[in-house]
Amino acid sequence: MLLRGQNSSARYLLRRSQSLSRQSSHALTRLYHVTAAERAGQKECDIVIVGGGPAGLAFASALTANKALHGSVEVTLVEGGDLSKVHDWDMPPHAFSNRVVSLTNASLDFLDQIDAWQYVDAARTCPVEDMQVWDGISGSRIDFNAVSLGVGRGPGSTQMARLTETLNLQRGLLRHLSQQPNVTLLDNTKVENIFNDDIPGGGWPMVQLSTGGVLRARLLVGADGINSPVRTYSKIDTYGWDYPTRAIVATLLHPPRTFSPNTTAYQRFLPTGPIAFLPLSPTSSSLVWSTTPALATVLTKADPAILASMINAAFRLPELSVRYLHTRLLEHPSLSPDDLRAEIAFREQAHAIAPYSAHASANVNPDDVNVGIPDQGIDAVPPLVARIQPGTIASFPLRYRHAEAYIGTRTALIGDAAHIVHPLAGQGLNLGLGDAASLARCVGNAVMHGSDIGSHTTLAPYARERYFENHKMMSAVDKLHKLYASTAPPVVSARSIGLEVLNELEALKAGIVGAAGGESNPRSSPSSLWGTVTSGVETLVDGARFAKVVGSGLKSIAGGVLQQVARAAGTGPGEDRRG
């Protein structure tokens, strides 16, 4: 039931006439009501969601999954783009779109609970069973292995997260939604203006559509991205900054690995920004490389072979040589792939990297990699990139933004409209899904108790639950980025020691990963794994890294208390600001 434009007007008129006849029996007392309903071109809506991205769609899905809302809450989703393109999106099995998301186990549990996951094409998803993260300068490394740490979603599963294309997730959510009654999807419809109604005792948001209608919303949810019109209407400010980096994305093609499956995610922290290799299938993976805007421009415009060589080198060569290659390429943007290869070969020789070592890339034919017994350290680096899937190279700016509040008068912000975070931990979308789950839960509770779902009392728990939780994660990821951007020797050695100490403490690591494991706690963040890792790093920054080790022992005791305090502290910024 993908309704476009005004197809629903007949249904609406029917409903309206029914409600008018109901009102006539209360004509005396419902005087104002009838006048309000007589307004032309205006439709009364329970929930209007602006934005058909993953957060908006997931929120709509979560609402339909809640039995308490059946028959009482009508959802209208407004999207400026053409949702049928997403609904009918298709790609050959071995080609992948360049925007990829990492879904934590908690996010997967949420998608399962709302019955949306079954609509996502499972063949286009890939589990992450191992994660290798290392310091670009010192080489200090931390290895999270789902098998040895014993995490997963239920018995037999050994995944820490699951990677898939954003479009695959979005299509799944959309297919799920199109099965649901009570949901009206208005795509190709832009929001022209949002204003208050002038009914005495009202003041509800009125959403003026580009197709001519006006929606009067009991609750208006902004899932409308960084320049959220709903946020502007709610007079909520954001704070944040633009990182001096851009992220390059691309789909990488490589030969399969002989001894291990391609289920390891790699991330190397270079001073210019982290470069990440995210597995999608045995022969395809996704790149997210945040680096200087100048280099991003050169790399996205150059021959794809240059980007492939640079990716291979960036995961393998010492930082000194990676930096040299960057400078070389910036000075000579028209460098030919062969010249670059020769340059890399020379650097490898200088660093005494044997031609058949796992760290050699310049003169290795990717197709011959699997001949013979691979080098011992082969699992420490991602597979050699042979080619880049044509048309998948792109780049986008990186930002940090956090709305000063998540709720306004009858409005709530979710996803990117509320927060934008550096992608290095792959948490942006998971935070958005966490918002959707939390807000849908608040609405569900409100309906069971007959509360007005747009009221501040209903929405306040959402802000209380999410604001501080998201803020913790966002600032940890931000600090992680800044910590690894430094090349100052004391900082490098401190962070390297911290990482190595962490790596040796299997019990602590298991604890960290276990927190994000199979059991799904709806109240906790869907991103506990990275949350705990990054807050570990954050603690390091504060020079109190050992407190973390001790603290985790006490966590089970103090956790509850601290959480309460934190939640109370989170109340302030989350809900207090309003226009």
Q: How many CB atoms lie within 10 A of CB 162?
A: 23
Contact range with another protein by CB under 8 A, out of 64-72, 93-101, 374-382, 473-481: 64-72
Residue of 202, 261, 377, 579 that binds another protein (CB under 8 A): 202
Binding another protein by CB under 8 A: which of 11, 14, 17, 22?
Answer: 22
How far CA 101 is from CA of 18, 159, 160, 290, 425, in Å, comes to: 45, 15, 13, 16, 10
What binding mask, one character per residue, do residues 533-572 give for another protein by CB under 8 A, x or -? -------------------------------xx-xx--x-
Tokens encoding 128: 């992450």
Site size toward another protein (CB under 8 A) is 47
Of these, 11, 17, 32, 562, which contacts another protein (CB under 8 A)? 32
Closest Cα to residue 246, out of 287, 276, 291? 291
Q: Would you say 450 or 490 has its CB closer to another protein?
A: 450
- What residues from 348 to 367 belong to the interface with another protein (CB under 8 A)? none
> Which of 4, 5, 30, 188 is the binder for another protein (CB under 8 A)?
30
Q: Residue 19 Cβ, how far from another protein at the closest point, in Å? A: 7
Cα atoms found within 13 Å of the Cα of residue 155, Cβ hemisphere only: 0
Residues 6+ apart with CB under 8 A from 558: 551
Beta bridge partners, 287, equal 250, 277
Residue 231 Cβ vs another protein, minimum distance, rounded to whole Å:
20
Q: Which one of 204, 400, 406, 484 is in contact with another protein (CB under 8 A)?
A: 204
Look-up: residue for tokens 């080489």? 139
Nearer to another protein (CB atom), residue 524 or residue 563: 563
Interface residue with another protein, options 37, 491, 494, 510 (CB under 8 A): 37
The one among 31, 226, 320, 547 contacting another protein by CB under 8 A? 31
541 vs 422: CA distance, rounded Å: 18
Place of tokens 């999207």: 79
Can you give 400-461 as a three-state secondary structure string? EEEECCCEECCEEECHHHCEECCHHHCCHHHHHHHHHHHHHHHHHHHHHCCCCCCCHHHHHH
State the nearest-atom distance from the C-beta of 463 to another protein, in Å.
11
What single-letter DSSP state applies at residue 256? P
- Which residues have CB under 8 Å from 183's CB, separation 6+? 1, 60, 63, 64, 74, 75, 76, 77, 177
Cα 199 to Cα 196, 205, 408: the distances in Å are 9, 11, 19
Q: Which is nearer to another protein, 84 or 571 (CB)?
A: 571
Stretch that binds another protein, among 68-76, 261-269, 467-475, 514-522 (CB under 8 A): 68-76
Count CB-CB contacts under 10 A for residue 383.
26
214 is a contact residue toward another protein (CB under 8 A) = no
Region binding another protein by CB under 8 A among candidate stretches 36-44, 318-326, 346-354, 384-392? 36-44
Cβ-based nearer residue to another protein, 201 or 543: 201
Cβ(453)–Cβ(46) under 8 Å?
yes
Nearest CB to another protein, comparing residues 204 and 315: 204
The site string for another protein over 391-430 (x = CB under 8 A, - otherwise) reads ----------------------------------------
Q: Please give the Cα distance from 229 to 192 (Å, whole number).
A: 9
Residue 173 burial (C-beta neighbours within 10 Å; 0-12, 13-18, 19+)? buried
Positions of E strands within 294-391:
387-388
Looking up tokens 């360049």 gives: 98
From 23-31, 102-110, 382-390, 548-556, give the range in contact with another protein by CB under 8 A: 23-31
Candidates 199, 330, 386, 491: give the one binding another protein (CB under 8 A).
Answer: 199
Closer to another protein by Cβ: residue 310 or 407:
407
Amino acid at position 246, single letter: R
* Closer to another protein by Cβ: residue 46 or 538: 46
Tell me how far CA of residue 39 lies from CA of 30, 33, 44, 197, 569, in angstroms: 15, 11, 10, 11, 44
- The footprint of another protein on residues 426-485 (CB under 8 A) is 445-452, 455-457, 460-461, 464
Q: Which of 57, 69, 169, 483 is in the footprint of another protein by CB under 8 A? A: 69
Over the Cα atoms of the chain, what is R_g? 26
Burial class, 442, CB count within 10 angstroms (exposed 0-12 / middle 13-18 / buried 19+): buried
- DSSP for residue 216: E
The piece of 24-32, 56-64, 93-101, 112-120 that touches another protein (CB under 8 A) is: 24-32
300/445 with CB nearer another protein:
445
The residue among 181 and 203 lying less far from another protein, judged by its C-beta, is: 203
- The SS3 of residue 284 is strand
- The span of 3-11, 69-77, 275-283, 520-528 binding another protein (CB under 8 A) equals 69-77
67 binds another protein per the rule CB under 8 A: yes
Is residue 155 involved in binding another protein (CB under 8 A)?
Answer: no
CB of 455 to another protein, least distance (A): 6
Supply the minimum distance, in Å, between the C-beta of residue 291 and another protein: 44
Distance in Å, CB of 178 to another protein, minimum? 24
SS3 252: strand
Q: Does 201 bind another protein (CB under 8 A)?
A: yes
**Closest CB to another protein among residues 397, 579:** 579
Q: Which positions touch another protein (CB under 8 A)?
A: 19, 22-23, 26, 28-33, 36-37, 44, 46, 67-72, 197, 199-204, 218, 445-452, 455-457, 460-461, 464, 564-565, 567-568, 571
